[in-house]
Amino acid sequence: MMRRLYIASTVAFWLAVFGFWAADPRLAAEAQPPAPAGAERSWSLADVARHATPEDCWMVIDGVVYDFTAYLPQHPSAPAVIVAWCGREATEAYRTKTRGRPHSAYADQLLPEYRVGRLEAP
Ligand code: HEM
């Protein structure tokens, strides 16, 4: 009788251990390797133009598409200065701040966080 109880509880223990292991979300993450670099999404200018409001603001800078919606409230200028570029190709505006002077290296470092893909080849 005790022997059966011992075997049953041992089996139950290891089943529980296996169950927690199999349910670990980190395993699911490992099962799906990150998308290869070439698999980044491409967007057309028409796609970008559909995100042209302060509540949904995409831009293209140097062929890269960014979603700056979350950044807009942090931008140091008057909102209108940057919002005017939502939904548009904004490389020149970014390079010159529309005032003939470039953004700082710090500003450049912020860009990758907002990247959502590349502009598709014409
Ligand atoms: C594309 C349209 C944009 C325009 C027209 C624009 C314009 C400006 C202006 C007028 C200023 C304040 C005046 C000055 O510092 O000279 C400024 C500052 C700044 N902007 Fe922008 N900006 C744009 C996009 C961005 C983006 C996308 C970022 C970063 C994600 C950014 C980051 C900053 C930062 C960090 C500053 C503080 C000064 C500096 O570090 O250069 N801006 N911008």
Mean pLDDT of 5-15: 64
Q: Which residues line ligand 1 (CB under 6 A)?
A: 59, 68, 71, 75-77, 81-82, 85, 90, 93-94, 97-99, 101, 103-104, 106-107, 110-111
My answer on whether 57 and 80 are in the same domain is: yes
My answer on whether 85 and 108 are in the same domain is: yes
Beta strands in the chain (DSSP E): 42-43, 52-53, 56-61, 64-67, 88-89, 115-119
- Whole domain around residue 28: which residue ranges? 2-33
My answer on whether 23 and 47 are in the same domain is: no
Q: Which two tokens stand for residue 33?
A: 């390797």
My answer on whether 58 and 76 are in the same domain is: yes
My answer on whether 114 and 64 are in the same domain is: yes
What's the confidence (pLDDT) of residue 4?
Answer: 74
ipTM, two decimals: 0.96
Which residues does residue 53 pair with via DSSP β-bridges, in sequence order?
56
Q: What is the CATH classification number for the domain harbouring 96?
A: 3.10.120.10
C-alpha dist (Å) from residue 119 to 35, 59, 80, 89? 18, 10, 24, 10
Ligand 1 centre distance from Cα of residue 77 (Å): 7
Percent of the chain with pLDDT over 70: 70
My answer on whether 24 and 54 are in the same domain is: no
Q: What number does the ligand 1 atom closest to the CA of 103 have?
A: 41
How would residue 98 be classed by pLDDT, with cut points 50, 70 and 90?
A: very high
My answer on whether 64 and 103 are in the same domain is: yes
How would residue 39 be classed by pLDDT, with cut points 50, 70 and 90?
A: confident
Which position has the token pair 């990758």? 112
Q: Confirm if 57 and 51 have CB atoms less than 8 A apart.
A: yes
Q: How many domains does the chain have?
A: 2
pLDDT tens sequence across 56-93: 999 999 999 999 999 999 999 999 999 999 999 999 99
Q: What angle do CA 50, 103, 116 make, to 5 degrees?
A: 35
My answer on whether 19 and 65 are in the same domain is: no
